Amino acid sequence: MKFLTSGKVKDVYEVDNETLLFKFSNRVSAYDVKFKDEIPKKGEVLSKFAEFWFETLDIPNHFVETKSDTEIIVKKMQMLPIECVVRGYFYGSMVSRWKNGMISLHDGASSELAAKLSEPIFDPTTKSTHDIPVNREESISQNLVTSEEFDWLSQKSIEIYNKMANISEKAGFILADLKLEFGKLDGKITLGDSIGPDEYRLWPIDSYEVGKIQEAYDKQLLRDWLTANGYQKQFNETRQRGEEPVAPSIPKEIIDKMTQRYTTAYERTTGKTL
């Protein structure tokens, strides 16, 4: 196999002219900063979650087969240069963007932290080192997608979010938001990349409370620790100086908790054990 590229979490290899191998690692990143510390079992959870969602969702996707505990084979696709984000709850970057007038809520939607939106919002971004939110007009004018493609992606992404939210709810979780990626395979838009706790926020229903920071069963746990300890602010200030931020060491208790929560999220959602 030929090594092609190494991303924040997975390494990509070319198997042949039609397929790729995704090898999921235990690496972790947050706020576009890569950390030296790793999260045990994370790669296995991401790989098996990808297999589960691709096989569960009733939509054409590029998944072929599982190769090992941390590897899957997928079909090659021409990826669309847009990340399809669906938000079901008022949380994360959406809060500051709403305060700055950069995004609107549906009529009747609550602006209280972590409140459920009256209906899911399609909130896509560009695909770059630092993803930039784009609306329908910007997506089309920047030639990311056509108007027909944008409308299809919006509708399909929300459909997928709703189905995943229902499955998550049965497992005792709230799916707060979701990031999907699509590409073209044989001329048809097809679901691609991977789907797991690095692509969504997952909250346990039994501890959910509007108006507070939620208990995270995803990498939001690391983001919250960084924010609480001033690192997010440091990262932003460092970038404003034209420099690249340096990741701090992650405390062992955060690492252990992330491993436990990633594992619990997988086992409760799928009914399978690692």
Per-residue pLDDT of 101-137, as tens digits, reads 989 898 888 999 999 999 999 999 998 767 899 999 9
Mean pLDDT over the full length of the chain: 95
Domains annotated on the chain, with CATH: 78-207 (3.30.470.20)
Q: How many residues does the chain have?
A: 274
Put simply, whether the predicted model's pTM sits higher than 0.75 gets the answer: yes
Q: What pLDDT score does 265 carry? A: 97
Alpha helix positions (H), 72-146:
93-99, 136-141
Among 98, 88, 91, CA closest to 113: 91
Q: How many CB atoms lie within 10 A of CB 19?
A: 16
The tens digit of pLDDT for each residue in 137-151 reads: 999 999 999 999 999
Beta-sheet pairing, 63-68 with 10-14 = unpaired
The tens digit of pLDDT for each residue in 160-192 reads: 999 999 999 999 999 999 999 999 999 999 999
Query: How far apart (Å, rounded) are the C-alpha atoms in residues 163 and 117?
Result: 16
3-class DSSP state of 73: strand
Contact 126, 81 (CB under 8 A): yes
Mean pLDDT across the stretch 10-38? Answer: 96
The tens digit of pLDDT for each residue in 207-232 reads: 999 999 999 999 889 999 999 999 99
The tens digit of pLDDT for each residue in 37-95 reads: 999 999 999 999 999 999 999 899 999 999 999 999 999 999 999 999 999 999 999 99
Calculate what percentage of the chain has a pLDDT beyond 90.
Answer: 92
